[in-house]
């Protein structure tokens, strides 16, 4: 399906005085149109602008052009990511304490899905997989899982573990199998998620990853 980008000029007035002008700005969009209000929200969010008063969008054109940004990219552990995780009923209190890398998928600048990986040498913990309720069923979860699997594979991870209370069937479909807690490696057992954040009834699942032929030897913090 053809991908679209929006080309536009903008003028932003800040509430504390001053302004910002942009000419011939280009952004990836989902679908084939975006209204001015949505575009204004998008650039404020994309440029992480604060104290924005008025945003004027000028000379907007939609063009057919391949997207420039990867669909899944690293995301900060920030309020937006925490809100998405909390809305999916997943823990957030240990995010900053863990050796966690988060990746996310955005639509028009808004985070639609997120997934995290904590690396422990040749093992890693997949966690914090959440897709916004209104974006589910479109393959975003699958893309996120496949993305962290490929990141893990590239770092020489051999086994991915995860804990889930009610998505066992979901992960089964992605090749994860129920695994006795007693066989979890010590580094995974010691994670905050394993030790306390998930209830004891959470199911441990794992998946063996096929190593690429030229995989590097694995430093202990390869994926952290
Ligand atoms: C699990 C989750 C990430 C799936 O995201 P998604 O983008 O909708 O997933 P996909 O589009 O790749 O897959 C959708 C399919 O998975 C199924 N599915 C979704 N959640 C499921 C679950 N908990 N158990 C079993 N199947 C599930 C859907 O019914 C759908 O099936 P279909 O393809 O036969 O119609 C999302 O439902 C979510 O955020 N859930 C709450 C948080 C959570 O449980 N996270 C996992 C634990 S870390």
Measure 38 CA to ligand 1 centroid, in angstroms: 27
Contact 188, 158 (CB under 8 A): no
- Correct CATH for 72-208 of 3.40.630.30, 2.60.120.620, 3.40.462.40, 3.40.50.300: 3.40.630.30
Contact 205, 164 (CB under 8 A): yes
In the three-class reduction of DSSP (H, G, I as helix; E, B as strand; rest coil), residue 63 is classed as: strand
Tell how far CA 153 is from the center of its chain.
18
Domain range list for the chain: 4-64, 72-208
What is the average pLDDT value for the chain, to the nearest integer? Answer: 88
Residue linked to tokens 């066992």: 168
Closest CA relative to residue 142, chosen from 193, 105, 179, 190: 105
Q: Is the CB of 141 under 6 A from ligand 1?
A: yes
Query: Tens digit of pLDDT for each residue in 84-122?
Result: 999 999 989 888 888 999 999 998 888 999 999 999 999
Query: Which atom of ligand 1 sits closest to the CA of residue 128?
Result: 48
Measure 188 CA to ligand 1 centroid, in angstroms: 24
Measure 132 CA to ligand 1 centroid, in angstroms: 11
- 10 Å Cβ neighbour count for 196? 12
Look at ligand 1, atom 33, and give the residue with the nearest C-alpha. Answer: 137
Query: Tens digit of pLDDT for each residue in 125-170?
Result: 999 999 999 999 999 999 999 999 999 998 999 999 999 988 999 9
Mean pLDDT calculated for residue range 29-38 = 91
Tell how far CA 204 is from the center of its chain.
22
> The pTM is what?
0.79
Contact 127, 118 (CB under 8 A): yes
Measure 33 CA to ligand 1 centroid, in angstroms: 28
Residue 61, pLDDT > 70, answer: yes
Q: Is the CB of 169 under 6 A from ligand 1?
A: yes
Measure 137 CA to ligand 1 centroid, in angstroms: 7
Paired residues of 13 in beta bridges: 19, 54
Q: Is the CB of 14 under 6 A from ligand 1?
A: no
């Amino acid at each position: 399906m053809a991908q679209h980008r929006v080309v536009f000029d903008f003028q932003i007035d800040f509430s504390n005085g001053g302004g910002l002008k942009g000419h011939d700005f280009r952004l990836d969009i989902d679908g084939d149109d975006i209204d001015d209000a949505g575009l204004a929200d998008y650039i404020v969010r994309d440029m992480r602008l604060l104290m924005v008063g008025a945003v004027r969008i000028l000379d907007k054109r939609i063009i057919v052009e391949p997207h420039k940004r990867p669909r899944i990219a690293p995301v900060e552990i920030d309020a937006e990511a925490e809100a998405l995780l909390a809305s999916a009923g997943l823990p957030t209190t240990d995010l900053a304490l863990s050796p966690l890398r988060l990746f996310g998928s955005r639509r028009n600048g808004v985070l639609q899905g997120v997934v995290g990986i904590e690396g422990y040498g040749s093992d890693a913990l997949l966690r914090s997989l959440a897709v916004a309720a209104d974006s589910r069923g479109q393959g975003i979860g699958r893309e996120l899982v496949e993305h962290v699997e490929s990141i893990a594979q590239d770092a020489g991870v051999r086994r991915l573990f995860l804990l889930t209370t009610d998505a066992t069937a979901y992960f089964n479909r992605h090749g994860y199998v129920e695994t006795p807690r007693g066989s979890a490696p010590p580094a995974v057992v010691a994670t905050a998620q394993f030790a306390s954040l998930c209830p004891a009834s959470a199911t441990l699942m794992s998946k063996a990853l096929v190593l690429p032929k030229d995989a590097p030897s694995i430093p202990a913090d390869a994926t952290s």
